[in-house]
C-alpha cells in the first residue's frame, strides 16, 4: 500500500491505496463520492471525467498514486459554481439527460468548454464533446444545453 495525499473538492485527503487503484476507485470506493461514474475504464467514454489541477481528465486512467499533491474536483464539488448551476438548469430544460449515467462527465467537460471556448459554435461544441458518450439522448439536447449557456453569457 502507498500513502497518497491530495485535495478533493477543496478538502485535504490522505489515503492508503494500492498503486493500481485508479483515481475513480479512490473517489467512489474510499471516499464515497459516487457521482463520478465508470463506463469503459480505458479512456474512451468520458463518464469518469473529473477536474485534476483545473483541467478535465479521465479518472479511470489516472492512478491515485500519480495524483499525489493534486487538486481534484468531482461533480459533487461544483455545488456553488455559477457556470455549473447554469449548465444544470440548461441540461434540465433541454432534456440533455435521461438515465444520467454520462451526465457528471458531460457537465465537467461542458463547463470546461464554456470557460475555455466562449466563442464556440455548435460544430465546435460537438467536436469538443466527442469524447463523452451518451447511450440515451442522441446528443442534440446536450449540445443545445451547452449552446444555450454559451449564448446567455455573450
Partner 1 sequence: MKPAAFDYARAESIAEIGTVRVIAGGQSLGPMLNLRLARPERLVDIRRLAALRGTAEDATGATWGAATTHAEVEDGIAPDPTGGFLQGVARTIAYRAVRNRGTVGGSLAHADPAADWPVALALAEAVALTSAAREIPVAALVLGPFETSLAPGEIITAIRIPRPAAGTRHARHKLVRKTGEFAQAMTAVRSGPQGMRVVLGAIDAAPMVLDGIAAAREAIAALSLPPHRRAGLAACLDRAATEVGA
Vertex 99 angle, CA 50 and 82, to 5° = 45
Instruction: List the single partner that 47 binds among partner 1, ligand FAD, ligand FES, none, CB under 5 to 8 Å by kind.
Output: ligand FES
For residue 129, give the nearest of 149, 150, 113, 115 by alpha carbon.
113
Residue 152 CB, shortest distance to partner 1, in Å, is: 22
Residue 33 CB, shortest distance to partner 1, in Å, is: 18
Beta-strand relationship, 55-58 and 11-17: unpaired
| Residue placing its CB nearer to ligand FES in the complex, 99 or 115 | 99
Quote the distance between the C-alpha of residue 102 and its chain's center. 9
- Residue 93 touches ligand FAD, criterion: CB under 6 A: no
Task: List, in order, residues 6 or more apart from 28 with CB less than 8 Å away.
Answer: 34, 36, 38
| Residue placing its CB nearer to partner 1 in the complex, 53 or 152 | 53
Which residue has the closest beta carbon to ligand FAD?
43
Residue 104 CB, shortest distance to partner 1, in Å, is: 13
| Residue placing its CB nearer to ligand FES in the complex, 7 or 39 | 39
For residue 103, give the nearest of 117, 87, 114, 115 by alpha carbon.
87
**DSSP code, position 128:** H
Element (H, E) at 5: strand 2-8
Among 2, 5, 44, 152, binds ligand FAD (CB under 6 A): 44
Rounded to 5 degrees, what are φ and ψ at 116? -90, -30
| Residues near ligand FES (CB under 6 A) | 38-41, 43-48, 58, 60, 97-103, 134-137
Instruction: List the single partner that 154 binds among ligand FAD, ligand FES, partner 1, none, CB under 5 to 8 Å by kind.
Output: none
Among 43, 54, 118, 138, binds ligand FAD (CB under 6 A): 43
Amino acid at each position: 500500500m502507498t500513502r497518497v495525499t491530495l485535495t478533493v473538492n477543496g478538502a485535504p485527503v490522505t489515503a492508503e491505496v494500492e498503486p493500481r487503484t485508479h483515481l475513480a476507485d479512490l473517489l467512489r470506493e474510499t471516499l464515497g463520492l459516487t457521482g463520478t461514474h465508470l463506463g469503459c475504464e480505458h479512456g474512451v467514454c468520458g463518464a469518469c471525467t473529473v477536474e485534476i489541477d483545473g483541467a478535465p481528465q479521465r479518472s479511470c486512467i489516472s492512478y491515485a498514486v500519480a495524483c499525489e499533491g493534486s487538486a481534484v474536483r468531482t461533480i459533487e464539488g461544483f455545488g456553488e459554481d455559477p457556470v455549473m448551476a447554469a449548465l444544470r438548469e440548461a441540461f434540465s430544460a433541454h432534456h440533455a439527460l435521461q438515465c444520467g449515467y454520462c451526465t457528471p462527465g458531460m457537465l465537467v467537460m461542458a463547463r470546461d468548454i464554456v470557460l475555455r471556448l466562449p466563442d464556440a459554435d455548435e460544430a465546435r461544441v460537438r467536436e469538443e464533446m466527442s469524447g463523452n458518450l451518451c447511450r440515451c439522448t442522441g446528443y442534440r439536447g446536450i449540445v443545445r444545453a451547452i449552446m444555450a449557456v454559451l449564448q446567455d453569457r455573450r
